[in-house]
């Protein structure tokens, strides 16, 4: 079965993937399919009980996703696609569809049901061919489904919770992702592995071949493998068959995950297939019917080239508080938004359309409204709002990165270029030159802490500690989260006097909020409060080796045997190329640096902390815990 001839048929067509799933995008990109991504707005509210089988539900959901995108592009974007691909993957056990877990306890119950059992993964796929006749959209739908059987090993309590605390189950149907850490739970896979990842590539290729190269009846062979649905295989589809072997196949044979653990065989196969592109060329059929080579559309590079435009659209919309205007299901026309933000109608409409194209706003004939994503993270007064950090990114980081070329050449932070100041201390320079700047920086740190605190606080069992000191804990978000999880923990936030003087407006309200003690001081110069557990969140990556030596020496000296140090940072993989957020952040050229897990382990051990454990949370910040056993050498 060869996809290349089919690619030649599709290369001149407008192919759209109605899914924001990066896994589906990778699978299709890696076989040379050129497409654009338009995430579907279809609300997945179909009543599951009305479908006789889970795969019927998956097919119908996939079809509705694709049709919604086809109609929206035709009516609103005025760009009728040629082909829209929709897909929906569901995990089922005992004929019950498992959704994404709502919390860690739900993930535990879900994975416990799968432990030691075989379950099914169904993906429904809809291929919608579109045409426009008399300004009316006409569609022809071809759909199919694929089933893969997956068997979990018997999972111990320790393994279950270790996986749950990684954070990976929380956005995955069925509570696991086979292409990543979830691969360690799997005993065997019967059927299409990529189907479990999210897209049945083999069956999709065969369906395309059936549509574009209908075979003579005598060449059709029906095959059936146990409970896997019958599919058709074809012979002699074209004379364009070629060897599909990949000389790069073994390039990453010994690749490790971020914690340094070798990937399972099944997961490694996917890493190999997704981390290298076998060719930058695709075969296309010219007007004379002759197959020739053409450069593959570099979608990844184009996405990176345009990334700054998307960032700036988000920054400007946030600064104008567009998302605040549209919260609580408010729907407004562009002219109304323009009036409220005191901007031109023309410019506002373009900004709103850009936000809609990025999936931040919904657009209908009634006007614009927030998506769920915007309501949760972009409304300025939301519990998990990132508004503060977005404004900080626009007002501070954007200007620093404008001078990235000079930063790379000089190897220094470009505050003098961006702001006319020589200091390399981002925190001091940002906060203490004006009350407004101080408040803005604290708001930025507060918003990041709200997003990360729960995963950091629950990464390890900290119930053995009775007192804790969060050094540089700013507004106390992590401290309050720790108290919520460990009510008997007495915690002190130790930060600079200028910070402590302004924390009151960031404190949670409510009768049952356990108070956190705030103490002013400089952890480089002043005596540290005594505690069983010391915490450094987003501290170590910023300072140079000399400052870190001063700080860790002080902590090590005051720590008693049995006490510990909890560090929250973005942990790099051993090759220092993942996660991208941490790698890109290092380009700011602060005196400090981002570190890998082994580097953090060595750093803590250098100052007398042993039994160092690292948890990759799946959030922005990871967690490192080390125990003080003996005096440092």
pLDDT in tens, 519-573: 999 999 999 999 999 999 999 999 999 999 999 999 999 999 999 999 999 999 8
Specify if 398 maps to a domain: no
pLDDT at residue 228 above 80? no
Query: For residue 329, what are the CA distances in angstroms to 313, 340, 354, 362, 591?
Result: 21, 17, 19, 10, 45
Specify if 212 maps to a domain: yes
What is the residue range of 280's domain?
Answer: 4-298
Mean pLDDT throughout 446-460?
A: 93
Sequence-distant (6+) residues with CB within 8 A of 593 are 541, 586
Same domain assignment for residues 30 and 123: yes
352 vs 276, higher pLDDT: 352
Q: Which of 275, 298, 321 is the last residue of a domain?
A: 298
First to last CA, the chain: 64
Same domain assignment for residues 226 and 325: no
Q: Which of 382, 415, 450 is the last residue of a domain?
A: 382
Mean pLDDT throughout 202-221?
A: 73
Specify if 402 maps to a domain: no
Same domain assignment for residues 485 and 551: yes
The backbone torsions φ and ψ at residue 5, rounded to the nearest 5 degrees and listed phi first, read: -60, -35
Specify if 27 maps to a domain: yes
CA–CA separation, 87 vs 63, rounded Å? 8
Q: Are 209 and 6 in contact (CB under 8 A)?
A: yes
Specify if 409 maps to a domain: no
- Burial class (CB within 10 angstroms; exposed 0-12, middle 13-18, buried 19+) of 70: buried
Specify if 506 maps to a domain: yes
Strand partners, 121: 91, 148
The CATH number assigned to the domain holding 350 equals: 1.10.10.10
* Per-residue pLDDT tens over the stretch 482-519: 999 999 999 999 999 999 999 988 988 765 566 799 99
The token pair at 361 is 């706003």
Mean pLDDT throughout 240-253?
A: 34
Mean pLDDT throughout 394-398?
A: 92
- Tell me, what's the pLDDT at 69? 92
CA quadruple 30, 36, 41, 47: dihedral sign:
negative
3 state SS of 403:
coil
pLDDT at residue 198 above 60? yes
pLDDT at residue 618 above 90? no
DSSP 585-608: HGGG--SS---BHHHHHHHHHHTT
- Tell me, what's the pLDDT at 604? 96
Lowest mean pLDDT among 230-234, 331-335, 547-551, 564-568: 230-234
**Residue 261: band (very low, low, confident or very high) from pLDDT cuts 50, 70, 90:** very low
pLDDT at residue 411 above 70? yes
pLDDT at residue 141 above 80? yes
Same domain assignment for residues 319 and 465: no
pLDDT at residue 254 above 50? no
Specify if 399 maps to a domain: no
Same domain assignment for residues 136 and 249: yes
pLDDT at residue 180 above 90? no
The CATH number assigned to the domain holding 486 equals: 3.40.50.150
Q: Which of 236, 270, 298 is the last residue of a domain?
A: 298
In total, how many domains does the chain have?
3
* Per-residue pLDDT tens over the stretch 268-309: 333 333 333 344 555 555 555 555 555 666 777 888 898 999
Same domain assignment for residues 199 and 111: yes
CA–CA separation, 566 vs 539, rounded Å? 11
Lowest mean pLDDT among 385-389, 465-469, 615-619: 615-619
Closest CA to 168 of 93, 101, 264: 101
- Tell me, what's the pLDDT at 630? 58
Mean pLDDT throughout 29-39?
A: 86
31 vs 609, higher pLDDT: 609
- Tell me, what's the pLDDT at 280? 56
Same domain assignment for residues 262 and 318: no
pLDDT at residue 171 above 70? yes
Per annotation, catalytic residue among 82, 88, 306, 495: 88
Same domain assignment for residues 120 and 261: yes
* Residue 381 appears among annotated catalytic residues: no
The CATH number assigned to the domain holding 92 equals: 3.90.950.10
- Burial class (CB within 10 angstroms; exposed 0-12, middle 13-18, buried 19+) of 114: buried
Same domain assignment for residues 443 and 467: yes
- Tell me, what's the pLDDT at 606? 95
- Tell me, what's the pLDDT at 272? 39
* Per-residue pLDDT tens over the stretch 58-103: 999 999 999 999 998 888 767 789 999 999 999 999 888 988 888 8
Q: Are 426 and 542 in contact (CB under 8 A)?
A: yes
**Residue 135: band (very low, low, confident or very high) from pLDDT cuts 50, 70, 90:** confident
Closest CA to 180 of 88, 113, 271, 273: 271
Mean pLDDT throughout 573-581?
A: 86
Mean pLDDT throughout 413-424?
A: 73
Lowest mean pLDDT among 139-143, 495-499, 533-537, 586-590: 586-590
Lowest mean pLDDT among 190-194, 218-222, 238-242: 238-242
Specify if 417 maps to a domain: no
pLDDT at residue 162 above 60? yes
Percent of the chain with pLDDT over 90: 54
The token pair at 149 is 């059987």
Same domain assignment for residues 367 and 506: no
Query: For residue 68, what are the CA distances in angstroms to 40, 42, 246, 274?
Result: 6, 6, 37, 29
- Tell me, what's the pLDDT at 577? 84
pLDDT at residue 430 above 50? no
**Residue 481: band (very low, low, confident or very high) from pLDDT cuts 50, 70, 90:** very high
- Tell me, what's the pLDDT at 298? 76
**Residue 8: band (very low, low, confident or very high) from pLDDT cuts 50, 70, 90:** low
* Per-residue pLDDT tens over the stretch 364-389: 999 999 999 999 999 999 989 999 99
Same domain assignment for residues 624 and 604: yes
Same domain assignment for residues 71 and 128: yes
Strand partners, 537: 568
């Amino acid at each position: 079965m060869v996809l290349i001839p089919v690619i030649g048929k599709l290369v001149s067509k407008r192919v759209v993937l109605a899914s924001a799933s990066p896994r589906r995008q990778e699978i299709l990109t890696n076989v040379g399919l050129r497409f654009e991504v338009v995430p579907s707005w279809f609300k997945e509210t179909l009543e599951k009980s009305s479908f006789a089988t889970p795969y019927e539900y998956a097919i119908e959901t996939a079809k509705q996703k694709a049709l919604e995108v086809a109609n929206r592009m035709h009516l609103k974007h005025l760009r009728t696609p040629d082909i829209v691909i929709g897909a929906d993957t569901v995990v089922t056990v005992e004929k019950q569809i498992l959704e994404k877990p709502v919390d860690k306890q739900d993930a535990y119950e879900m994975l416990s049901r799968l432990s030691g059992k075989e379950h099914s993964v169904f993906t429904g796929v809809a291929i919608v061919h579109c045409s426009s006749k008399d300004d009316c959209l006409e569609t022809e739908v071809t759909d199919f489904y694929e089933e893969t059987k997956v068997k979990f090993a018997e999972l111990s309590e320790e393994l279950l919770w270790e996986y749950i605390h990684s954070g990976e189950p929380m956005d995955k149907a069925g509570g696991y992702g086979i292409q990543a850490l979830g691969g360690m739970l799997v005993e065997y896979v019967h059927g299409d592995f990529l189907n479990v990842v999210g897209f049945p590539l083999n069956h999709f290729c065969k369906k395309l071949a059936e549509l574009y190269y209908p075979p003579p009846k005598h060449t059709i062979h029906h095959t059936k493998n146990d409970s896997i649905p019958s599919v058709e295989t074809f012979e002699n589809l074209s004379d364009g068959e070629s060897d599909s072997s990949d000389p790069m196949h073994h390039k990453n044979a010994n690749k490790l995950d971020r914690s340094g653990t070798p990937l399972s065989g099944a997961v490694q196969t996917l890493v190999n297939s997704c981390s290298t592109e076998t060719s930058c060329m695709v075969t296309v059929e010219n007007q004379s019917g002759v197959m020739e080579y053409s450069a593959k559309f570099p979608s990844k590079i184009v996405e990176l080239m345009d990334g700054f435009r998307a960032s700036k659209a988000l920054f400007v919309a946030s600064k104008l508080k567009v998302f605040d205007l549209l919260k609580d299901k408010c729907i407004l026309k562009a002219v109304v938004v323009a009036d409220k933000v005191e901007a031109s109608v023309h410019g506002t409409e373009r900004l709103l359309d850009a936000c809609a194209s990025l999936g931040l706003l919904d657009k209908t004939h009634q006007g614009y409204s927030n998506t769920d994503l915007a309501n949760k993270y972009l409304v300025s007064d939301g519990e998990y709002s990132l508004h503060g950090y977005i404004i900080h990114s626009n007002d501070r980081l954007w200007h620093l990165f404008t001078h990235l070329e000079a930063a790379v050449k000089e190897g220094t932070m470009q505050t003098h270029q961006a702001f006319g100041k020589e200091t390399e201390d981002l925190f001091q320079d940002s906060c203490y030159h004006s009350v407004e700047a101080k408040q803005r920086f604290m708001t930025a740190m507060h918003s990041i802490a709200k997003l990360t605190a729960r995963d950091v606080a629950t990464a390890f069992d900290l119930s053995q500690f009775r007192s804790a000191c969060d050094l540089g804990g700013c507004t106390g978000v992590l401290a309050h989260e720790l108290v919520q999880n460990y009510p008997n923990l007495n915690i002190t936030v130790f930060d600079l006097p200028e910070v402590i003087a302004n924390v009151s407006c960031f404190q949670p309200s409510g009768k049952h909020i356990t108070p956190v003690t705030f103490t002013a001081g400089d952890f480089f110069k002043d005596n540290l409060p005594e505690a069983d557990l010391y915490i450094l969140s987003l501290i170590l990556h910023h300072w140079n080796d000399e400052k870190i030596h001063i700080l860790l020496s002080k902590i090590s000296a005051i720590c008693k045997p049995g006490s510990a140090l909890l560090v929250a940072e973005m942990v790099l993989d051993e090759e220092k190329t993942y996660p991208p957020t941490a790698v890109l952040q290092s380009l700011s050229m602060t005196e400090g640096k981002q570190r890998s897990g082994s580097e953090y382990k060595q750093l803590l051990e250098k100052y007398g902390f042993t039994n160092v454990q690292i948890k990759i949370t799946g959030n922005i910040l990871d967690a490192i815990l080390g125990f003080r056993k003996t005096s440092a050498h």
